[in-house]
Amino acid sequence: MRTRLARPAAGPHPLNFRSGYTFFDGRRRSLAAAWAGVRYTLRTQPNAWIELAALGVVVAAGCWFRIRAMEWAVLGLTMTLVLALEAVNTAVEAVVDLVSPEIHPLAKIAKDSAAGAMIFAVLGSIWVAAFIFGPRLWALIF
């Protein structure tokens, strides 16, 4: 015998009818969860501390050299990308630890690949900083 899928009750539904939250309550909860992830990443990841310190140095250098608006935009996007990938790397590590608490070759690949993405981002950020600050530092030194 076939069972019928239940139809939603008649009448207006909140936009997030599967969760039962209204649109704005769902957005508020999503934002709160995102900030919890930011706090967790910054609290537990020493590399994030290094990246924030580097961000401080870059902002100070940008102010000192009075870089242009487009250079600020590129630096801002680059710094945001590095911090975002740090959060993604943290999430990948947590999920891998959850689903594979024992050592497994595929777990190692997942963690190493996420860390490798960080290396790409950091190398890219160094490249961007070299193009923006390199000529200014060169003129200052020589």
Q: What is the 3-state secondary structure (H, E, C) of 16-59?
A: ECCCCECHHHHHHHHHHHHHHHHHHHHHHCHHHHHHHHHHHHHH
Domains in the chain (CATH in brackets) are 35-141 (1.10.287.3610)
- pLDDT recorded at residue 26: 86
- pLDDT recorded at residue 17: 59
- pLDDT recorded at residue 14: 53
Tens place of pLDDT per residue across the chain (142 aa): 555 555 555 555 555 556 678 888 989 999 999 999 999 999 999 999 999 999 999 999 999 999 999 999 999 999 999 999 999 999 999 999 999 999 999 999 999 999 999 999 999 999 999 999 999 999 999 8
Task: Provide the annotated active-site residues.
Answer: 86
Give the orientation angle of helix 23-44 with respect to helix 46-65, to 10 degrees.
Answer: 100
Q: Which amino acid does the sequence have at 63?
A: C
Enumerate residues 6+ apart whose C-beta is below 8 A from 44. Answer: 90
- pLDDT recorded at residue 73: 98
- pLDDT recorded at residue 22: 84
